[in-house]
Amino acid sequence: MRSASVSRRTHETDVSVSVAIDGSGKAGISTGVGFLDHMLELFARHALVDLDVQVKGDLHVDFHHTAEDAGIALGEAIRKALGDKRGIVRYASIDLPMDETLTRVALDISGRPFLVFRSDFPTQKIGEFDTELVREFFQAFAMNAGMTLHVETLYGLNSHHIAESCFKGLARAFRAAAALDPREGDRIPSTKGNL
């Protein structure tokens, strides 16, 4: 089973993440930020990864460090769980509809981290959650997972739907890209011989 755990402690947060890529979508999430918990739970469910994320953060300041450090630790755990990426599909993309919203997510589990994020939110907050933190989470995740990640909301009116379509799109694209390809066998999917 492809799995890993990561702990990260700073003066701002104390984070522990465990992930099993070949799971069933079970999630145990507690970040202290209700909206972030919701996004991580649906990521686990739609990626079919088993995910445990526990964060104690400086929420008296704001939610920034909690969201960013959760993204860092989740990215690190996924990178470790994938190992040398032998036999994976590697690339995937999806157009993810969420009511009036449509978001496209494309990714390459490349070992070369890069983020293009083109999703605009009509409001600055979803409840108490700053919408700008969606991008911060994706940036932290992509850099630490070693993925090339493109996220673009083609249209949408509701900030909650836009954020949810981004996370569900990431989940579904990751699920497809991390899948083991029987035709690839034990090879690393690159002409370079490593990723």
Q: pLDDT tens across 106-125, in order?
A: 999 999 999 999 999 999 99
Check residues 27 and 193 and name the one with the higher pLDDT.
27
Rg (CA), the chain: 16
Q: Is the pLDDT of residue 12 over 90?
A: yes
Q: Is the pLDDT of residue 136 over 90?
A: yes
C-alpha–C-alpha distance, residues 28 and 43, integer Å: 12
Q: What backbone torsions phi and psi does residue 105 show, to the nearest 5 degrees?
A: -125, 125
C-alpha–C-alpha distance, residues 134 and 153, integer Å: 13
* The predicted structure's pLDDT at residue 1: 84
Please name which of 39, 82, 36, 63 lies closest in space to residue 175, comparing C-alpha atoms: 82
What pTM was estimated for this model as a whole? 0.97
Please name which of 17, 25, 36 lies closest in space to residue 172, comparing C-alpha atoms: 25
CATH code for the part of the protein at 3-178: 3.30.230.40
Assess contact for 88 and 189: CB atoms under 8 A: yes
Place of tokens 């496209």: 104
Q: Is the pLDDT of residue 193 over 90?
A: no
C-alpha–C-alpha distance, residues 150 and 75, integer Å: 15
**Pairing label, strands 50-57, 148-155:** unpaired
**How much is the average pLDDT of 144-168?**
98
Q: pLDDT tens across 38-80, in order?
A: 999 999 999 999 999 999 999 999 999 999 999 999 999 999 9
Tokens linked to 114: 């890069």
C-alpha–C-alpha distance, residues 120 and 129, integer Å: 15
Helix or strand (DSSP H, E) at 52: strand 50-57
The identity of residue 188, as a single letter, is I
